[in-house]
Chain A
């Protein structure tokens, strides 16, 4: 009788363990294997493409780079101006650059990943940031991004006046800025960033890829804490 109880207890524990493991594995499979990227009617059909962080577009002069472009570790962030967690992560990345930027060991590349179905304002805001960059230079892009994330309430709640205010603060000509916005010249650029985010496996924002000196690419999903990003940078820097 005691043996029977012990056996049943073991079977029970195994069943419970299987149920938990099954749920966890099923969730992981759905998450990591599904063709579950944010849907964008303009985005390429990536369901049949192989996702890999190695597909990250090489860093070029066209990118917005903070820090040393030849740094040992480059963090490529794909971000959505209306995502509240991108707002948090923007602060984290600024903190990272405050610490590692002066050493020249870490660089931060900002790319656009507006989630159109969730945040309809994010794409026009991304284009606005590009116009700020064109008219005010690379420094103006970062000033725009920093100030925007500071002022935005996120989740598509940003008033148009926020952009007007920032443009004025940065000292960009309002007429030229409006012309740039209406020209559509940066639509393709933002779309290229979105397509690359999806190609690399991005499903949400913020989505980042840490590139080490050997070219290894590490995916970092979500607004991770400063401590996590720092640990990851230290791991990447310790790579021989």
Chain B
């Protein structure tokens, strides 16, 4: 398994994919609660470009203020794991000349969704989980969870780990014509 990992990440292209996806997921997670504000600032012609950039960067500080310690760790792990995962799946699909790796992709997406549900400020509803539960009038359900919804983040990490494991295991398998 480690040889497969080494094989994939010895190619700069796959490191780039992993880093890019990690950065995209992380930025999304941090900016997510303020997408409306970001839109207002970005499209405001009266605001200088420097102010816009400074403001966007300042929002990264919310990883400390708007996340619990566990939640921010989960967010970072989910972003890294998803980046690694997409990179591994890309390698697998490319080398196998197959259109998709069903199990790996599904697990990976499931892991990301579950992970995103579990991060942020579930206890105060500024992220996804509470609003989704509220749709069903069930946000009180969170009070029965020992970690207030962060369990979903852990499930997400588990799914992403399993997805990586499945993909890594498949990479060295010999090419055969399936019947």
Q: Which residue of A lies closest to B148 (CB)?
A: A155
In angstroms, Cα B123 to Cα A232, docked, is 25
Q: Which residue of A lies closest to B113 (CB)?
A: A23
Contact with B along A192-214 (1 / 0, CB 8 A): 00000000010111110000000
In angstroms, Cα B124 to Cα A83, docked, is 6
Contact indicator B62/A39 (Cβ below 8 Å): no
A105 shortest CB reach to chain B, Å: 17
A169 shortest CB reach to chain B, Å: 27
Instruction: Decide: A8 near B97, CB < 8 A? Known: A32-B36, A235-B55.
Output: yes
Interface size (B, Cβ < 8 Å)?
Answer: 58
In angstroms, Cα B121 to Cα A5, docked, is 44
A114 shortest CB reach to chain B, Å: 11
Scoring A155, A201, A203 by chain B CB atoms within 10 A of each residue's CB, the highest score goes to A203
Contact indicator A32/B46 (Cβ below 8 Å): no
Instruction: Decide: A38 near B134, CB < 8 A? Known: A218-B37, A223-B66.
Output: yes
Q: Which residue of B lies closest to A15 (CB)?
A: B100
Contact with A along B64-107 (1 / 0, CB 8 A): 11101000000000000000001001100110010010000100
Which residues of chain A come closer than 8 Å to B165, judged between CB atoms? none
A-side interface size class: 35 or more
Q: Does B1 contact A (CB under 8 A)?
A: no
Contact indicator B61/A224 (Cβ below 8 Å): yes
In angstroms, Cα B143 to Cα A96, docked, is 32
Contact indicator A9/B55 (Cβ below 8 Å): no
Which residues of chain A come closer than 8 Å to B132, judged between CB atoms? 30, 34, 36
Which residues of chain B come closer than 8 Å to A36, judged between CB atoms? 131-132, 134-135
Q: Does A225 contact B (CB under 8 A)?
A: yes
Which of these, A38, A224, A231, contacts B51 with CB under 8 Å?
A: A231
A219 shortest CB reach to chain B, Å: 5
Scoring B25, B65, B135 by chain A CB atoms within 10 A of each residue's CB, the highest score goes to B65
Scoring A80, A201, A235 by chain B CB atoms within 10 A of each residue's CB, the highest score goes to A235
In angstroms, Cα B34 to Cα A223, docked, is 11
B43 shortest CB reach to chain A, Å: 12
Contact indicator B33/A222 (Cβ below 8 Å): yes
Which of these, A13, A23, A39, A206, contacts B134 with CB under 8 Å?
A: A39
Which of these, A28, A34, A39, A203, contacts B35 with CB under 8 Å?
A: A28
Given contacts A27-B116, A221-B36, A231-B51, 20 further A-B contacts (CB under 8 A): A16-B86, A20-B21, A30-B131, A31-B35, A35-B135, A37-B131, A38-B130, A39-B137, A80-B124, A84-B124, A118-B142, A203-B126, A203-B131, A204-B125, A204-B126, A218-B40, A219-B34, A225-B64, A228-B59, A235-B44
- Give me 20 A-to-B residue pairs in the complex whose CB atoms sit less than 8 angstroms apart, sorted by A's number: A15-B100, A16-B17, A24-B28, A36-B134, A38-B139, A39-B134, A39-B137, A118-B140, A156-B143, A204-B121, A218-B40, A218-B41, A219-B37, A220-B34, A220-B37, A221-B126, A224-B34, A224-B66, A235-B51, A238-B47
Chain B residues near A (Cβ < 8 Å):
17, 21, 24-25, 28, 32-37, 40-41, 44, 46-48, 51, 54-55, 58-59, 61-62, 64-66, 68, 86, 89-90, 93-94, 97, 100, 105, 109, 112-113, 116, 121, 123-128, 130-132, 134-135, 137, 139-140, 142-143, 148
